[in-house]
Amino acid sequence: MKIYIDGKLCDEKNAKISVFDHGLLYGDGVFEGIRAYNGRVFKLKEHIDRLYCSAKAILLTIPMSHEQMSKAVVDTCRKNNLRDGYVRLVVTRGVGTLGLNPNKCEKPSVIIIADKIQVYPPAMYQRGMDIVTVATTRNLHSAVNPAIKSLNYLNNILAKIEANNAGVEEAVMLNSEGFVAECTADNIFIVKGNQLMTPPLSAGALYGITRGVVMELARENGLLATEPTLTRYDLFNADECFLTGTGAELIPVVKIDGRVIGAGKPGPITKDLVNRYHALTKVSGEPIFPVK
């Protein structure tokens, strides 16, 4: 495997960063998870745009243009002969001192890893998954804004630990007011009648790329896609529920905190959106290999 680090492609065993990198020492940096399907990088522009928005929010100047970054992602996929897989794009603050001061970091580092990913067991996509609500609340907007896709994911990891302790793969995170924000690594959707609902970004949800795609697909199919404030009550009484994320794609949820959702199996609207999403990924994206 070839890994991109600051303009060079390194073998996996030689892909190294300094122990003084503030990304390692303090989680000081931003990242994106991107998917490749059928020889194309899906929604590359949207992911790169979000990366730069996250970087701007933490006053991190990325030493590459949008175009250069996009090209680096595609080139790394090509060098690894990746047609279907996952790209982890990381920008750290760079090498600094043991102190907090980010101004001591002279140059940010850009790292691109193109590999495979399997977030959840395949059987869960067929039968649906159980999830629980956890005590760990989503970060406050006035603390580490959830809109920033930063390398500091400890908030999510603490919630994931609670999920694991409860014997499930995912967990619902509430915000400080008790409203549904998102899950540890995914956005959450419910279906009620012909209405598709997901928490608003103001509740603490990430600006999910897959989230946005699913809402577009739903509206194209005549569904009313809205972003109301949701509580656990709304989740419990939904007709259907599913999660979305770049790594997870779309995965049905059939039980939340012991309450069976709908018929207790993936619902028709969820299945339809899964099919529409997969169809879109097969024909959309930035080509990795030259078109013959």
Task: Give CA separation, 46 vs 43, 198, 201, 209, 266, in Å.
Answer: 5, 20, 17, 7, 29
Q: Which long-range contacts (CB under 8 A, 24 or more apart) does 7-14 make?
A: 7/110, 9/76, 9/79
236: Cβ contacts below 8 Å, ≥ 6 apart:
256, 257, 259, 261
Residues for the chain: how many in total?
292
| Residue 237: other Cβ atoms inside 10 A | 12
Is 282 noted as a catalytic residue in this protein?
A: no
Distances in whole angstroms, Cα of residue 126 to Cα of each of 38, 158, 231, 253, 262: 22, 28, 26, 10, 16
Residue type, 106: E
Query: Which of 16, 149, 160, 271 is labelled catalytic?
Result: 149
241 membership: H or E segment, kind and range: strand 240-245
Give the count of beta carbons closer than 10 Å to the beta carbon of residue 164: 13
Residues annotated as catalytic are 149
